[in-house]
Amino acid sequence: MLDFAIYSITIIAVWSVLALSLNIQFGMTGLVNFGQILPFALGSYAAGISASLGYPWWIGALAGLIAAPLIALLVIMPAQRLAQDYWALITLGAAEIFRLTVLNAPALTGGADGLVVPRFIDPTLAMSVALAVLAVTFLLAQRISSSPYGRMLRVLREDEILASTLGRSPIRYQASVSVIAWMMAAAAGVTYAHITGYVAPSSFTVTETFIIWTAVILGGPGRNIGVIFGAAIIQLLGVSSRFVAQWIDLPPDLIANLRLASFGLVLVLMFLYRPQGLIPEAKQVHDAERN
């Protein structure tokens, strides 16, 4: 039981980092990124490829943290002259292109068979690393949120033209926040690869992106602690419903479908009665004269 609890906390920590990375893009800046699984996959594959070539783990981690911001800049390059709505399409497409590329490059990525990555044998170590990555990410996200930079991101979210009239370049802010967010997600990806011991294209689909989105929307976009709460609820619903299902004496396939249906029902009810999220973003009032 203790091992399972440790494992669940580890997974919650990884998905919380992903939720935070999307939150500073969408929750704070208003960037609709439907491909947030891409930097996560970049980090995971950097760890996997590095391991398959016989390099130590830190080379893979470094490669992931370098590749993610570079690819972020490449992906958002075509978005510079487009409205924010197009970010969704561009990022969604980029994530799928990456998944299909790794699927079709078996010599480097293992193709559909994927790559085996050295696992953390000690579950406590895995949890400690995941929590450490979460702590760093959370502190960074909090720092951004409370800084003048974060306030400008929120101005961008509310009105891009207003931000421009203040002499700020929206694309610079959007690019910089994307770079930070993608590095966070890449760090989560590296950690995840060493937790699961395996990377394959099937782990980085659109479904995974929407799990991150659900966590952010459920927890409260714009609120860092809220999205961590959202990620925890999503993962705990999945885990706890397995135990509840075990009590019910019904055919396993029916239970499995009921389990997913109940999961969906909880989310629908949440969105109906608490659309602002469980821990909504607090309204910030700044007195310009005092500041």
Kindly list the residues in this chain that would bind other proteins in the complex (CB under 8 A). Answer: 1-9, 11, 100, 103-104, 111-114, 116, 119, 121, 124, 127-128, 131, 196-198, 200-203, 207, 238-240, 242-244, 246, 252-253, 255-257, 259-260
The nearer residue to other proteins, 113 or 159, going by C-beta atoms, is 113
The nearer residue to other proteins, 22 or 155, going by C-beta atoms, is 22
The nearer residue to other proteins, 252 or 275, going by C-beta atoms, is 252
CB crowding 92-117: b at 16 or more within 10 Å, else e: bebbbebbeebbeeeeebbeeebbeb
Closest contact distance (angstroms) between CB of 134 and other proteins is 12
Closest contact distance (angstroms) between CB of 274 and other proteins is 22
Closest contact distance (angstroms) between CB of 213 and other proteins is 16
The nearer residue to other proteins, 163 or 200, going by C-beta atoms, is 200
Closest contact distance (angstroms) between CB of 9 and other proteins is 6
CB crowding 144-155: b at 16 or more within 10 Å, else e: bbeeeebebbbb
Closest contact distance (angstroms) between CB of 255 and other proteins is 8
The nearer residue to other proteins, 25 or 235, going by C-beta atoms, is 235
Nearest Cα to 201, choosing from 73, 52, 95, 287? Answer: 95
